[in-house]
Structure 1
């Protein structure tokens, strides 16, 4: 019995710390959509970070088609270029995608309804941040540092880091960080992006006058609810 317990503990540790790319292969399951190949450039999201590297995220339209489409739309509008990771908790997650940089902002597009699915919040999972309303995801997202399975089916996992997780690990910590890591550029791989070049990040997008977030009726510059990943437990 002790030997089995030691084996189980070792197996769990290996799953938690194994390279992300080694964990993404899934068997086909009856009743589920088939995921795109991890080589499908239409579903590879590239984030060039100011900490010195490119992160490749495998998007999963098979389980979160609306959120994946939102990511592609905003990326092709250069929405994410220059935005910071504004909330980064060691051992938990890095949150970004807010043009205001304080957790209260979003795009001018309507909110995305929840697409809670079977994908777990393991290391490298990419999930949609939201306010208390399950249907309030918009542009913000978070990348998980360590497994947080208590978040499963409460937040929409829409992708997984398959390369460059070391650059995610290097994102500056803080709430907010004193010197936040920025997304220099974001690309969809199918759009033939240039090779990664470590250059200074552009200034974040300026929203100008306060705007009303879609579906909230609240000026974004005043009292809009934060789109947040959950608290670490």
Structure 2
């Protein structure tokens, strides 16, 4: 890991997923996610929407896809960065400036999302743990984030 301050360690039940943060693409989103991780916001939160060949979505404390944090929503930081396997991007409603705490990790190419969702990171290692998450919308027994920490604090 090159920069511990811009690396997340997301521990799932099956093992660690190391995510390189991209403040060069989305500085506001990266700061927001690090703040939430440092508060323990993501600890125990499930992946409530896991679609094979597409993506795994989590980050909603209610587990329904309708919740978020008590922090204000984020202004979109769209980029040309492609949505490909391992890319971490923010979920949002139809309002481009509605991202809050929910995010998704792409299983495969999802280039139709390019320039419409904010890419904030990519999986460096542990993608096999994302691949192994229970599938469904929602999964019958959803996989959960045991903990999410900034590597500099771990």
TM-score normalised to the size of structure 2? Answer: 0.99
Higher strand share: 2
Residue 118 of structure 1 and its aligned partner are, at CA, apart by 1.7
Higher relative contact order (CA 8 A, sep 6+): 2
Structure 1 residue aligned with 2:126: 164
The answer to whether residue 96 in structure 2 is matched with residue 96 in structure 1 is: no
- How big is each residue's C-alpha offset from its partner over 1:144-200, in whole Å with a ceiling of 9 and x where there is no partner? 000011100000011000100110100110000001000001000000x2xxxxxxx
Give the number of aligned pairs. Answer: 154
Aligned equivalents of 1:67 and 1:121: distance in 2? 16
Aligned equivalents of 1:61 and 1:99: distance in 2? 24
Give 1 or 2 for the bigger CA radius of gyration. 1
The answer to whether residue 113 in structure 2 is matched with residue 188 in structure 1 is: no
Aligned equivalents of 1:171 and 1:143: distance in 2? 11
- How big is each residue's C-alpha offset from its partner over 1:32-78, in whole Å with a ceiling of 9 and x where there is no partner? xxxxxx5100000110001x110000000011001000100000000
Q: Which runs of 5 or more structure 2 residues have no equivalent in the other structure?
A: none
Task: Write out aligned runs for 1:64-83 (5 A).
Answer: 64-83=26-45
Structure 1 residue aligned with 2:6: 43
Tell me which stretches of 4 or more aligned residues in structure 1 moved more than 3 Å.
none
For residue 121 of structure 1, the aligned residue among 83, 91, 94 is 83
Aligned equivalents of 2:128 and 2:150: distance in 1? 20
Q: Which runs of 5 or more structure 1 residues have no equivalent in the other structure?
A: 1-37, 194-233
The answer to whether residue 93 in structure 2 is matched with residue 131 in structure 1 is: yes
| Secondary structure in structure 1 of the residue aligned to 2:20 | strand
